[in-house]
Amino acid sequence: MALGALLVACSGGEHPTPQGAHGATEAAADDRATVVCFGTSLTAGLGLDPDDAYPALVQQRIDSAGLSYRVVNAGVSGATSADGLRRIDWVLREPLAVFVLELGANDALRGLDPAVTRSALSDILTRLKARNIAVMLCGMMAPPNYGRDYAERFNAIYPDLAKSFGVPLYPFFLDGVAADAKLNQADGIHPTPQGVDIIVNNIMPTVEAFLGPLRGQQP
């Protein structure tokens, strides 16, 4: 399969260039089910070596756990939830089994209307569920400086959607890392390799619990 690596900065969200793939011939020989990690620069690994981005570390952990999946990094720096919705059909041109959705950080950083974020994420989930793709949703939290009303409206998006669509939720993607200067790059937003290690350590129990039962459903 020639999906490749499609890819909380605020740069443009153009179609990504392949990263971490070794061409269609090698990809076609890999018959493992595909896990697409779809998101922002937090997924893409802005400022990091590709091998230090969280999808690459998840691949290592999945391999160690004996789970037969190929993880694809589909993060794009600067992407909002609306940007993700605009490129979702492009990603879905290739077959995939599992979709890990990490969007919303840039929406919150820009103070976008939570109703817009909710609508875009809902549309993405609707398209994935219509194709019977297993989805895991990663939650985000609003910066505290936007006030209580904004935070309550934004933070409620993820548990609400997880319940409505019946998908597993990892409540806060940056849990244990956000606002810790030692675990973030100079911009204070993007994790260092040490920060990514913590993210992966925290998220893997949810990922493994999600992927494990799906093994019997793989083609």
- 164 DSSP assignment: H
**Which two structure tokens, joined as six digits, stand for 140?**
């985000």
* 107 three-class SS: helix
Rg (CA), the chain: 16
Helix, strand or coil for residue 34? strand
Q: Is 152 exposed, middle or buried (0-12, 13-18, 19+ CB in 10 A)?
A: exposed
Active site residue ranges? 41, 187, 190
Q: Are 158 and 170 in contact (CB under 8 A)?
A: no
